[in-house]
Structure 1
Amino acid sequence: MASQSRTPILEWIAAGLGLLAILFVVVVIGREALTAESAQLPSLEVHAGRIVPNAAGFVVEFDVTNRSSATAAAVAIEGKLGDETSTTTLDYVAGDASAKGGLFFKADPRGKPLEIRALGFQTP
């Protein structure tokens, strides 16, 4: 007489947990595929901060805020103070985040019109 083996309850529980994990992953990937904003571009805002004298002249600190969820890489920043121009490049500004940097000027920017803007970026 052949003995009939029943599947242990622990095996059923493990199979159920595995099924739930697979369904969760499928739902998350499906939701990302349907709601991903693949055409979204970074939205960068640049604001001047404090001005610090140093041996080379003056440093104007700035903050770059990315109002988009898309990451920007190689962010080029330009500052103009009269006829003097200073540029720098930030490695990246993550989505919905900010980064800081500084621009060097020979002239004292305090009390003078200073324009700081983002020139461009790369998409990683």
Structure 2
Amino acid sequence: MNQDAHHPDGSAESRRRKDWLEWIAGGIGLLLAILLIGTIGYEAAIGNREAAPVIRFEIASVEPAGQFYLVEIEARNISESTAQQVEVEATLTNGGRETEKAVMTFDYVPGQSTVKGGVFFTNDPRAGNLQIRPLGYSQP
């Protein structure tokens, strides 16, 4: 008995259509897999080649802390690059002369993030001029 006569889905034309659809779907899947592997390979080989992270430092607050003054520093990394061991120097001047200096280290500053830390001074930083500058970092 001929299957085509009883089952319209079993016709030769229907089977050919299914074969072509399977080949097209398989080709699209293969193309997507090749693109994905190529993208991953490219990122692994080239990666993020920014020369250095771009970190902006800002004084978040100055508060009395016992016999000291706590200066809270905010580090905002606006780049995609990550930095670790970011060393920062805070210098307090009064009347044009340096009165105190403090150094701190941010352990880890991921790309596109903000972290906070603090330094302590014996003199009130609000009464003088406080400057913050980065000293260095290392790549993770």
Quote the Cα distance in structure 2 between the aligned partners of 1:24 and 1:55. 60
- Paired residues of 2:79 and 2:112 also in contact (CA < 8 A): yes
* Greater length-normalized contact order (CA 8 Å, ≥ 6 residues apart): 1
Aligned with 1:67 (options 56, 70, 78): 78
Summarize the alignment of residues 1-124 of structure 1 with structure 2, pairs less than 5 Å apart.
19=30, 22-32=33-43, 36-81=47-92, 82-124=98-140
CA distance in 2, matches of 1:104, 1:62: 11
Q: Which has the larger radius of gyration?
A: 2
Supply the AA of the counterpart residue of 2:123: A
Residue-by-residue CA offset, 1:42-85 (whole Å, 9 max, x unaligned): 11211111111111410011111112211110000111113211
Bigger share in helix:
2
Q: Kindly provide the amino acid, as one letter, of the partner of residue 56 in structure 2.
A: E
Task: Please list every run of 5 or more consecutive structure 1 residues that lacks an aligned counterpart in the other structure.
Answer: 1-8
Q: Secondary structure at the match of 1:110?
A: helix
Percent of pairs identical after alignment? Answer: 36
Give the TM-score normalised by structure 2: 0.68
Aligned residues: 117
